[in-house]
Amino acid sequence: MSSKLIFLHIGRGKTGTTAIQEFCTRNREMLRRAGVRYLESGDGFPHGPSGHQSFAKSLLDGIPDWMQAPPDLDAIQGSVREELLNSPDDAFLISSENLTLVDPTAAKDFFANILPNARFKIIFYARSQDELAESQYNTNIRWLRVTAAFSDYLASGGVNELEYDALLAPWEAAFGRENILAHVYDVRGRSVIDDFLSCLQLTGPAPQGLCTRGEAATANESIGFRCLEVFRFLNSYDLADRPKLYASIHELLGRHDTPCVIFLGSGSDTFPAAIS
Measured CA distances, 78 to 61, 73, 81, 114, 266 (Å): 17, 9, 5, 11, 51
Residue 35 located in a structural domain: yes
Please state the rounded mean pLDDT for residues 229-233: 91
Identify whether residues 199 and 262 lie together within a single domain.
Answer: no
Residue-wise pLDDT tens digits, 83-141: 999 999 999 999 999 999 999 999 999 999 999 999 999 999 999 988 888 888 888 89
Angle at the Cα of 121 from the Cα atoms of 35 and 171, rounded to 5 degrees: 160
Identify whether residues 60 and 15 lie together within a single domain.
Answer: yes
Residues paired with 85 in a beta bridge: none
Residue 70 located in a structural domain: yes
Q: What is the mean pLDDT of the chain?
A: 85
Identify whether residues 93 and 116 lie together within a single domain.
Answer: yes
Query: In CATH, what number is assigned to the domain containing residue 207?
Result: 3.40.50
Identify whether residues 198 and 232 lie together within a single domain.
Answer: no
Identify whether residues 176 and 257 lie together within a single domain.
Answer: no
The confidence score (pLDDT) of residue 215 equals 42
Question: Taking a C-beta distance cutoff of 8 angstroms, is the pair 20, 107 a contact?
Answer: no
Residue 71 located in a structural domain: yes
The confidence score (pLDDT) of residue 221 equals 66
Reported as a pLDDT band with limits 50, 70 and 90, residue 207 is: low
Treating both helix axes as pointing N-terminal to C-terminal, what angle do 17-26 and 192-199 enclose, rounded to 10 degrees?
70
Identify whether residues 207 and 229 lie together within a single domain.
Answer: no
* Last-in-domain residue among 212, 235, 256: 212
Identify whether residues 57 and 179 lie together within a single domain.
Answer: yes
Residue-wise pLDDT tens digits, 31-43: 999 999 999 998 8
H or E element at residue 5? strand 5-11
Residue 64 located in a structural domain: yes
pTM for the full model?
0.83
Q: Which position has the higher pLDDT, 211 or 17? A: 17
The confidence score (pLDDT) of residue 219 equals 47
State how many domains the chain has.
2
Please state the rounded mean pLDDT for residues 208-219: 48
Residues paired with 181 in a beta bridge: 123
State which residues form the domain around 187: 5-128+160-212
Identify whether residues 170 and 260 lie together within a single domain.
Answer: no
Identify whether residues 229 and 197 lie together within a single domain.
Answer: no
The confidence score (pLDDT) of residue 2 equals 65
Reported as a pLDDT band with limits 50, 70 and 90, residue 260 is: low
Identify whether residues 13 and 107 lie together within a single domain.
Answer: yes
* Dihedral-angle region of residue 51 (phi above 0 means left; psi in -120 to 50 means alpha; beta otherwise): left
Identify whether residues 116 and 166 lie together within a single domain.
Answer: yes
Residue 60 located in a structural domain: yes
Please state the rounded mean pLDDT for residues 206-215: 52
Question: Taking a C-beta distance cutoff of 8 angstroms, is the pair 24, 96 a contact?
Answer: no
Residue 12 located in a structural domain: yes
Residue-wise pLDDT tens digits, 242-253: 989 988 988 888
Identify whether residues 85 and 204 lie together within a single domain.
Answer: yes
Residue 122 located in a structural domain: yes
Reported as a pLDDT band with limits 50, 70 and 90, residue 166 is: very high
Residue 30 located in a structural domain: yes
